[in-house]
Amino acid sequence: MKRLNLLLGAVLVAAGATSCKTDTEQMAEKNIDRYESYVDSIGNLDATERSANWAQIEAEYQARLAEAEAALSDAKESQNAETRINDTKTKYENVKTETEKEANETAADALVISYFGPDNMVGDDLNFNWVNKDNILSVYQNFVDTFNKNKDSYSRQDFDKIKAWYEALDARKNTVEKEGLSSEDNRKIAALKLEFAPKFKWERMTAKSEENQEAKEEATE
């Protein structure tokens, strides 16, 4: 009986504490709770869904954050409320960093697949041992076709990757020539290289120039 009375007393004290809060204080706490819950919900989303809807997520996050920070002055325990907001900010930044990393990895995979197909995921080691005298012409042809089709959408980093792949493919060609590459295929590859090299140089130079200009404009804003 004594234990039950103690528990009831604790409930009454908690109820009393809640009832002591003004409507403004309760609204402030509600807004901070909403902010925490929203960030938790972002973390629970599937990575692909997060990346696909990040602009909308960011806009909603900024709105919830503004509400929570505006509630600080009305919160009953402002120091505790500020700690909760700061902790939630850190949690959000961690989710944002992870989302950006996942998006970059997905984009990198899509780029390499577009050039070499899903079965030949060329990595940092630039291993082209799968290229041989029978398929090297088709590899070059797809390389040039893919570049021509997508060159206007590439970033500076994309151009750097493509340059490294092209140079590694050329190095592999030197080996394949000794393994029986036909004269006809060699001639066609030479024509593709002649088409690709000056075009790539120009597009890469232009992309770097445009990014530098954008960076300057952002710095002056």
Q: What is the pLDDT of residues 116-155, one digit of tens each?
A: 998 887 888 899 999 999 999 999 999 999 999 999 999 8
Q: What is the pLDDT of residue 20?
A: 55
Q: Is 81 a member of any domain?
A: yes
- The answer to whether 75 and 123 have CB atoms below 8 angstroms apart is no
Over the Cα atoms of the chain, what is R_g? 29
pLDDT at 17 over 70: no
My answer on whether 215 and 138 are in the same domain is yes
Q: Which helix (H) or strand (E) holds 152?
A: none
Q: CB neighbours of 33 closer than 8 A, spacing ≥ 6? A: none
Which residue, 74, 70, 64, is CA-closest to 25?
74
136, 70: one domain:
no
- Statement to judge: residues 128 and 190 lie in one domain: yes
- Two structure tokens written together for 75: 């919160």
The answer to whether residue 209 scores a pLDDT higher than 70 is: no
**157: in domain:** yes
pLDDT-above-90 percentage for the chain: 53
Q: Which residue has the higher pLDDT, 119 or 176?
A: 176
Domain that holds residue 51: 22-105
DSSP state of 22: -
Q: Which residues have a Cβ under 8 Å from the Cβ of 81 and sit 6 or more positions away?
A: 28, 29, 32, 71, 72, 75
Which string of DSSP letters, residue by residue, matches 31-76? HHHHHHHHHHHHHTS-HHHHHHTHHHHHHHHHHHHHHHHHHGGG-T
pLDDT the model gives residue 37: 92
Per-residue confidence (pLDDT) for residue 68, from 0 to 100: 87
| Residue 116 maps to a domain | no
